[in-house]
Amino acid sequence: MLLGKETTAILPATRNKEKSQDRDTLTAVWRIIDVNSCPYHYNFHLHTTCSDGQLTPEALMEQAITIGLKGLAITDHHTIKGFERAKQWIEKAATLYPPQLLPQIWTGVEITADLNGTSIHLLGYAFNPQDDNMRDYLTGETPQGESAKAENVINSIHLAGGLAILAHPFRYRRRGEELILEAYRLGIDGIEAYYAYGNPNPWLPSPTETSLALLLAKEYNLYTTCGTDTHGSNILVRL
């Protein structure tokens, strides 16, 4: 299913809300995410110079408009500084661009967590960055001790009104199937199903891992997301 009229119709419905924390619109988009969604329609995994990426948030947003992204999330490691700068850029750009050219941006962050002895990455979306529950995860530093436990990270994101996603579930030392099940038992909301594990250029979700992720997401009733995990100078690829 190609993204088109269905997706376009979703975004304008919540203009009077804090759009960056709008879970309803975000989950509505996730329900129609497919293999064609990323990187030209949506991208929910992007890094900037505010953590370990090469693009400034402003340059990233300029690329997003150039390629016609409808929605995105900047997921810098343990910080929302990139999101904040991107949001400021969009607010200024609103006077220069037609509204339909400006993508929706959600709050986002990537957090290193411990899942039963395995170091994983959890993506948080649409949370309130001012909520005290997120304080330990937005310092720019990897959380330690109890704060680093996956169940505590997931719970904190939820308490801040957000959604928690297991990033690239097949990149870890343990089998993705095991990690997805364990994350599901802890209350994870979804998994990053469409991900390019071999860093191809052009970007393309890895067929084997994607198929398995979709099967497991259906079994556990999880949302599926997509993202290039950009760390380089081009948001259409990872590096």
Average confidence (pLDDT) per 10 residues, the chain, 239 residues: 34 58 98 97 98 98 96 98 97 89 96 98 98 98 98 98 98 97 98 97 97 98 98 97
Q: How far is 234 from 228, CA to CA, in rounded Å? A: 10
Length of the chain: 239
Strands 71-74 and 118-125, sheet pairing:
unpaired
34, part of any domain: yes
Q: In which domain, by residue range, is 96 found? A: 19-226
Tell me how far apart the alpha carbons of residues 5 and 87 are, in angstroms, rounded to a whole number: 25
Domain annotation covers residue 234: no
CATH code, 195: 3.20.20.140
Does residue 147 lie within any of the structural domains? yes
Tell whether 180 is covered by a domain. yes
pLDDT in the model for residue 17: 56
Residue 183 lies in a domain: yes
Q: Which pLDDT score, from 0 to 100, does residue 90 have? A: 93
Nearest 10 degrees: CA dihedral of 33, 133, 144, 178?
-40
pLDDT recorded at residue 219? 98
Q: Does a structural domain hold residue 239? A: no
Residue 231 domain-assigned?
A: no
Res 2: pLDDT: 31
State the total domains in the chain.
Answer: 1
In a domain, 9, yes or no: no
Q: Which tokens is 165 given? A: 């996603």
- HSE-up of 93 (CA within 13 Å, CB side)? 21
Instruction: Calculate the dihedral angle through the C-alpha atoms of 69, 73, 77, 80, rounding to the nearest 10 degrees.
Output: 120
